[in-house]
Amino acid sequence: MRPRVVRAIAAAVALFATATACGSSGGGDGRGAQDAAKAAPAGGFPVKVADCAGRETTIAKAPARIVTSNAAALEMLLQLGTGDRLIGTGFPPGKGTLPADLAERGGKVPVLGDRTVPKEKLLGSGADLYVDTFSAMPMMGGGATGPTEEEFTAAGIQHVFLLSTACAGTPKAAKAPRTDLAEVENDIRRLGAVTGTAARAEELVTGMEQRIGEVRAALAAVPDGQRPSYFVFDFDAGTKQPTAVCGRQVANAVITLAGARNVFADCDADFKPGSWEDVIAKNPDWIQLAVRNRGTEEATRKAFDDAEAFLRSFPATQGLKAVQEGHFVRIGSEVTTIAGVRNADAVRQIAATVHPDLVKGGQ
């Protein structure tokens, strides 16, 4: 992985969660859907779930003490109502990043590591389940630097993954762009099965599908060629060299479902270092000012203002169509590039901004 991509991903993860994606929802081998089905047997337990390589783990009973690698898994588990079983996390959510109804409970989860959870601390945590968002990303705590499967077993910890966030760097990752949120929904179902909260998981997925379905119906008559082009400007990753949000990133699915066309959908990666020349050549109709929550509404608004001011003053971007027309989308990075229930809300918000006559309830 090249330094620029590492820096862009690290910036996102340090403040909230990893932003990688497993692209099977966009035309892959379909294993995610099959795995979700296996993870929900009629009797509840045992539950079988697979990792990115297809290796299965059998969960005999609902876990009582759960550690998460970062705030992506943490938020999903809070949404599922398992907050009382969370005993630790790495990469904790920054102030203001969790939804208001989850913030208090999420703030009580012990932080075992500001970044990755140290190996010894994880193995000695007393957890019986570790939910891993990283897998094939050694730089983020998976693979080479994390415990081995033998060490997890010896510590009595079962190790499961969020496939929608852990698989992008693996050989089985789909090459086609992600165009739906099926893998995110499958992860919610898998965690529901693993934690004994399958009914709540289905409720969350049903809500996501309903919100997305409403947008899809509203945009059904808009031909692909008339859907506006869209660039995600990751302001927090730096301004010297822009980062391309590519087709395998979950944001590509969010943008597509919202009725827009990601200008970097054709790059076969999740993130990729780009150049301002690339952005100029694409000349997007809309630019998302992707900033991470600063903890207060005022501070976050200032970050959006700063991102917009940069694009308006930077010689390379002053003449872009989106800049000239003031076509800026102010949506936080967390709900766009990080897998979770709120991806469906981002779909609606983007759609209502770029198609205000067809979809209501935008910014």
Query: In Å, what is the CA distance from 64 to each residue of 44, 60, 83, 85, 254?
Result: 16, 12, 11, 5, 33
Beta partners for residue 229, in sequence order: 261
Q: What are phi and psi of 113, to 5 degrees?
A: -170, 130
Residue 248 domain flag: yes
232 shares a domain with 195:
no
Same structural domain for residues 227 and 350? yes
Better-scored residue on pLDDT, 135 or 197: 197
Chain centroid to CA 244: how far? 16
Reported as type and span, the H/E element at residue 231 is: strand 229-234
CA-to-CA separations, 135 to 50, 148, 232, in angstroms, rounded: 12, 11, 25
**256 and 191 fall within a common domain:** no
Average pLDDT (132-151) is: 66
Task: Say whether both 206 and 305 belong to one domain.
Answer: no
Give the mean pLDDT of the chain.
85
Distance CA 234, CA 153 (A): 39
State pTM to two decimals. 0.84
Answer yes or no: do 306 and 201 share one domain.
no
168 band by pLDDT with thresholds 50, 70 and 90: low
Q: Is residue 362 part of a domain?
A: no
How many angstroms from the chain centroid is the CA of residue 293? 15
Residues 142 and 77 in one domain: yes
CATH label of the domain that carries residue 205: 3.40.50.1980
Question: CA-CA distance, 163 to 185, in Å (whole number)?
Answer: 11
pLDDT higher than threshold 80 for residue 173:
no
Does any domain span residue 330? Answer: yes
Whether residue 204 is found in the same domain as residue 229: no
Buried b (16+ CB within 10 A) or exposed e, 247-277: bbbbbbbbbbbbbbbbbbbebebbbbbbebe
Answer whether residue 213 shows pLDDT above 50: yes
Contact between 268 and 246 (Cβ < 8 Å): yes
What would the mean pLDDT of 115-137 be, rounded to a whole number? 88
- Structure-token match 């003031």, residue found: 326
- Domain ranges, residue 270: 223-354
Kindly state the tokens that stand for 73.
């898994």
Give the residue-averaged pLDDT of 17-32. Answer: 39
Which pLDDT score is estimated for 3? 41
Whether 286 contacts 260, CB under 8 Å? yes
User: Would you tell me how many other CB atoms lie within 10 Å of the CB of residue 95?
Assistant: 14
Same-domain pairing of 238 and 326: yes
Same domain? 204 vs 116 = yes
66-68 and 129-132 as β-strands: parallel, antiparallel, unpaired?
parallel
**Do 319 and 198 fall within a single domain?**
no
Interatomic CA distance for residues 49 and 191, integer angstroms: 9
Least confident of 40-54, 154-168, 246-260: 40-54
> 175 lies in a domain?
no
Let me know the angle formed at the C-alpha of 57 by 61 and 177, rounded to the nearest 5 degrees: 120
Report how far residue 164's alpha carbon sits from residue 339's, in angstroms, rounded to the nearest whole number.
7
CB-count burial class (<10 Å; 0-12, 13-18, 19+) for 61: exposed
Residue 188 in any domain: the answer is: yes
More confident position, 40 or 102: 102
In a domain, 18, yes or no: no
CA dihedral 323, 354, 273, 74 (to 10 degrees): 130
Q: What is the pLDDT of residues 58-80, one digit of tens each?
A: 999 999 999 999 888 999 999 99
Of 214, 237, 269, the residue at which a domain comes to its end is: 214
User: Cβ distance 89 to 70 under 8 Å?
Assistant: yes
Name the domain count of the chain: 2
The DSSP call for residue 65 is S
C-alpha of 119 from chain center:
24
Does 50 share its domain with 193? Answer: yes
| Residue 66 falls inside a structural domain | yes
For the stretch 304-356, pLDDT in tens is 999 999 999 999 999 999 999 999 999 988 899 888 999 999 999 999 999 99
Omega before 46 within 30 of 0, i.e. cis: yes
Confidence of residue 35 (pLDDT cuts 50, 70, 90): low
Confidence of residue 38 (pLDDT cuts 50, 70, 90): low
Residue 129 domain flag: yes
Q: What is the 3-state secondary structure (H, E, C) of 332-345?
A: CCHHHHCCCCCHHH
Whether 21 has a pLDDT exceeding 80, the answer reads no
Share of the chain above pLDDT 70, in %: 82
Helix (H, G, I), strand (E, B), or coil: what is residue 288? Answer: strand
CB 164 within 8 A of CB 134: no
Maximum mean pLDDT: which of 18-32, 172-186, 278-292: 278-292
Q: Any idea what DSSP says for residue 180?
A: S
Question: 87 φ, ψ to 5°?
Answer: -110, 0
> Residue 354: helix, strand or coil by DSSP?
helix
Regarding whether 232 and 210 lie in a shared domain, the answer is no
What value does the mean pLDDT take over residues 126-139? 76
